[in-house]
Amino acid sequence: QLIVSFLFGLCHLSLHSTLLCGRANLNNRVVGGQNAPPGFWPWQVSLQESSGHFCGGSLINSQWVLTAAHCFPSGSASDVTVVLGLQSLEGSNPNNVSRTVTTVIVHPNYNSNTKDNDIALLQLSSPVTFNNYITPVCLASTNSTFYSGVNTWVTGWGTIGTGVPLPDPETLQEVQVPIVGNIQCDCNYGAGSITDNMLCAGLLEGGKDSCQGDSGGPLVIKQNNIWIQAGVVSFGEGCALPNYPGVYTRVSQYQTWINTQITTNKPGFITFTSNGTDSDLNVSCPEVPPIETGTASTNTTTPLPTTTTTTVSTTTKPTGKIFC
């Protein structure tokens, strides 16, 4: 298969791809926590059933979407529509394109209890044509490093707080959140909760996070004007609570698996390299304050299929672990 190289040979796509991965021609974003303008995140997709949007995902080539395994507990997508080029869930969307799903591939080692290996691939019913509003994202390759404090972006149509729906017309949201190292994140969630297949991002003081409805969506980072997907929205303790950053599936762990499933027109992989020294290596685990609880005393683990990215209120703190 004929391959072209771009950016020092790092991003590879077959020649019949009309645009290279990770290029958002309309995006000059610097800071966030707001509505995303049209075309800023052209790989973002909405997964919809008859009841509407339920999960996010990312376009990784002309016919495949990356998402979270927990969005497909039955392993079936017979009633799922993938909407690309979408700006708002309500109202006019002149750039959107829809496809059905012909194949769902859930990672064989996905654990619905721990959320380890929370990753899945969807094959679209037919290829899409790339333009300024529909473009694949590059994926982080195996040797990528994500040090604490590196800024990333997460996008979606999820709630803007626990139990607070996105107001009409339900415009795609974006927020910038820093990487939280796995040692620190594991300290916060409890020893052994965060595996090497996971990546954490968020403010330890709370206030910015993904939330219910964003699950499966992309966490991306920019390098040399190219956007690279580092994570897939997976789970969290509520939304934007202090000391509990969002947890994402670490895409760089799955390059071999993805390339094994997609045999033609393989996605573009880029190595993201963090500069300096990772402060997470110096972290020891202090005692983390417990989550405040309301009148209910139950502590249950409830999987919820989705999450989004904007500044959210942290005044109401739910009991138990909520998987977004």
Helices then strands (H, E): number in the chain? Answer: 2, 21
Residue owning tokens 């947890």: 247
Q: Answer yes or no: are the C-beta atoms of 106 and 217 closer than 8 Å.
A: no
Q: How far is 179 from 153, CA to CA, in rounded Å?
A: 10
Q: 118 an active-site residue?
A: yes
Q: 70 an active-site residue?
A: yes
Q: How far is CA 154 from the centre of its chain?
A: 6
- Close Cβ partners of 266 (under 8 Å, ≥ 6 residues apart): 12, 13, 14, 61, 259
| Tokens matching residue 99 | 């496809």
Q: 215 an active-site residue?
A: yes
Q: What is the DSSP string of 156-177?
A: ES--SBTTBPPPTT-B-EEEEE
Q: Which of 12, 70, 186, 278 is catalytic?
A: 70
Q: Which of 116, 118, 209, 280 is catalytic?
A: 118
Q: What is the DSSP string of 87-135?
A: -BSSS--TT-EEEEEEEEEE-TT--TTT-TT--EEEEESS----BTTB-
Query: Could you give the 3-state DSSP secondary structure of residue 253?
Result: helix
Q: Answer yes or no: are the C-beta atoms of 137 and 229 closer than 8 Å.
A: yes
Q: Answer yes or no: are the C-beta atoms of 104 and 76 closer than 8 Å.
A: yes
Residues tagged active-site? 70, 118, 215
